[in-house]
Structure 1
């Protein structure tokens, strides 16, 4: 069958991004024809050339629409609108698909998918990556009450018009069901991880990276991901400085880029225990995660963020590195139930520093938590299994 995919941000494993859909599309394109309607936002940000830009069998229509985490609200809104207009036009030009797969964020990408599905009289499936508009509203990006009500009405109408909905976490699924959407219309599809790429993080690769980075004899804490406003970077910086004063053998690596990069640059300049690492291609991040003794997955203490599905959580557990989470939602329940990590409240640097000091002083506890997490990743987070479920949902929707 012919699947049209509406996704504003396409990445591949050469990019400093999670590349979820590259993995899913690669598997589904073996059986089905796929047309991807996207943008060239990430194509210029490839750090290596180890992978083809598109999986074999995927056709692409791409707009030149810029986007970056540092953009303000107005500039982001323009980017979202430009892609939605392009996707609507191209969706009406391509050969009629059997089913449409619309991916948010942003919500405007899903809106374009829904409009094309309605006009071409085909079913569509809605993948919910983040809760929109709840997330931008909680971050203060939609101060106008009329605009908020309009966005919430749009959100609910999209849930109602979709043939099936795939939220990326159990808490997202519960949120959507709470809006009156029947449970049989919902399938939780975790973000997941690439176990084949994780396998490249061998003992030899980790030893070479440790030597290259001058980290012999040091314990390593890793934060890898966007330095965004939602990621609570000031708390991590404060915790890192507290820990450095008491445990001089610990190095905290911050790998990525984003809004709070100047804050981290200033912290690294005054505190030798804090080190900034440039963004790494997807296929290389697993060696960094395995190098670390523990990874931190942090967000602001907002209820809407408790539902998210952070890639760094899956990638860390895939290589046997335990995690510390600051969300009170499903990730807290996951790490506590499986014994693969720990929880500390968001916005409390003293508590985070104390927890890190405790876990780093117990190597056996770290090893046991890492081993437990790796088993969870193998059985629950494999994107090959996730792709199979996604394919089944799309095939059933088309029928």
Structure 2
């Protein structure tokens, strides 16, 4: 689908994202919105991604103007290291073959993770001379190295070499946070080759409005309880155990609820923890598409954006942070990086010590007992989303990067 535009050229863009999500899928929809902006500006977008379910087969679908090629390369967060490696390599091989078959491609956008997503882009550059933009969503392989998941000397050094090769050969690099940008620059890449465009708020999808009491009743939530929401991935890196320990300390406060929306590799152990400690103040609601997730977040009082206390995770640019801003929710963060600076500078949330559930409890009770401050922080969050981080602003910036560097090729 092409729309009328004023540019003198139109590009055919190949977009490679192993975990591409539509609005119905839930999760990160950044690539969807960037694709929509590129289409609006007169460009064609073909997306290469992986199938949603283990039973799905390779297929091609047209989704809101995007030609989406789903490759049978199933991945699940519960997979162990070898299972994940197999999924990564399987998608890398299939996406490379598929990418090489595409005709008349002008530009490639490859978005991590995993790092192997850059390999098909490298092949297209080397064999066909097609430039690519590489998007850094996590500093791989530094994240798995610091988390202890990449201890093999050969694999670690191969991954570090691959990282530098992908960065070096990219026409341009987009980093999702200041910390990620610094990480790219530390590999020897010049500043002019890197642009920082963080994750995006969606002010027309997450926004303050009247509470959906019917949905609240459906999930057995008390109307007048103080509700804290965590929504997103629930894996080793997300600091969920820290939230659970805090909830245990607040067990006697029957007017405080912790609500979890999403899914992840550790969810079974989290459910077992809650059962063992009889934590009735925690509700795991499951995974939802954007619209229902927005309704659930809207009737909560504050949002939790937590990570394990590992330095490399301070660089994260989590979707839930920006959707929480958009929803007008005060945000509780526990990372010492740029998100701490953001919430404190803009008075749209608070920082809690990642090693102290007691500090977490103290900050939660402060917000609960100071409703005027809670409202002010929520209003500041919404203003920040509207003025700085909305997708309409950042997708336009992204499209300009794509067009500027295509014109220089």
Secondary structure at the residue paired with 2:250?
A: helix
Which of 164, 167, 176 lines up with 2:175 in the alignment? 167
2:62 is equivalent to residue 93 of structure 1: no
1:244 aligns with 251
What's the counterpart of residue 342 of structure 1? Answer: 350
Q: Secondary structure of 1:225's partner?
A: strand
CA displacement at 1:44 relative to structure 2: 8.1
- Note the C-alpha offset of 1:196: 1.7
Q: For 1:347 and 1:75, how far apart are their aligned partners in 2?
A: 31
Give yes or no for contact 1:103–1:126 (8 Å, CA) kept in 2: yes
Work out which of the residue numbers 23, 42, 48 in structure 2 matches 1:13.
23
Task: Give the deviation of 1:166 after TM superposition.
Answer: 0.3
- Residue 216 of structure 1 is matched in structure 2 by 223
User: How far apart, in 1, do the equivalents of 2:62 and 2:313 lie?
Assistant: 31
Deviations 1:285-331 (A, max 9, x none): 12222211111111011111000111111111101111111111100
Secondary structure in 1 aligned to 2:156?
A: helix
**2-side partners of 1:396 and 1:2: how far apart?**
15
Deviations 1:75-95 (A, max 9, x none): 001100011111111111111
Q: What residue is the counterpart of 1:145 in the other structure?
A: 153
Q: TM-score, normalised by structure 1?
A: 0.93
Deviation at 1:158, TM superposition (A): 1.1
Task: Specify the SS of the correspondent of 1:196.
Answer: coil
Q: Classify the secondary structure of the residue corresponding to 1:237.
A: helix
Alpha-carbon distance in structure 1 between the residues aligned to 2:274 and 2:296? 19
Distance in 2 separating the partners of 1:311 and 1:317: 10
Deviations 1:115-174 (A, max 9, x none): 212211011101111110001111211111222122112111111111110001111111
Structure 1: distance between partners of 2:316 and 2:296: 23
Question: Quick one: distance in 2 between partners of 1:44 and 1:320?
Answer: 39
Paired residue secondary structure (2:196): coil
Q: Contact between 2:201 and 2:325, CA under 8 Å: does it hold in 1?
A: no
Q: 1:320 to 1:388 in 2, by over 3 A?
A: same
| Alpha carbons 2:314, 2:336 under 8 Å: kept | yes
- Give structure 1 stretches of 5+ with no counterpart: 46-52
The corresponding residue for 2:6 is none
1:206 equivalent in structure 2: 212
1:307 aligned to which of 294, 315, 322 = 315
Identify the residue that residue 228 of structure 1 maps to in structure 2: 235
Are residue 112 (structure 1) and residue 120 (structure 2) matched? yes
User: 1:3, 1:97 within 8 Å by CA — same for their partners in 2?
Assistant: yes
In the TM superposition, 1:237-276 aligns within 5 A as: 237-245=244-252, 247-269=253-275, 270-276=278-284
Find the partner of 1:329 among 311, 328, 337: 337
Q: Shift in Å at residue 54 of structure 1?
A: 4.8
Cross-structure match for 1:385: 393
Structure 1 match to 2:45:
34
Provide the residue aligned with 1:24 in structure 2. Answer: 34
TM-superposed CA distance for 1:348, in Å, is 2.3
CA separation in 2, counterparts of 1:314 and 1:175?
Answer: 22
Consecutive unaligned residues of structure 2, counting only runs of 5 or more, are 1-10
Deviation per CA, 1:210-249, whole angstroms, max 9, x where unpaired? 343332111101111111011122111110010122x221
Cα deviation, residue 104, structure 1: 0.6
Matched, 1:186 2:194: yes
Higher helix share: 1
1:57: Cα distance to partner? 2.5
Using CA pairs below 8 Å that are at least 6 residues apart, which structure has the higher relative contact order?
1
SS of 2:303's partner is strand
**What is aligned with 2:376?**
368
Match of 2:69 in 1: 61
Deviations 1:47-85 (A, max 9, x none): xxxxxx754322222211111111100000110001111
Alignment correspondent of 2:91: 83
How many residue pairs end up in the alignment? 389
1:281 maps to 2:289: yes
Helix, strand or coil at the partner of 1:221 = strand
Distance 1:304 1:180, change over 3 A: same
Q: Secondary structure at the match of 2:133?
A: strand
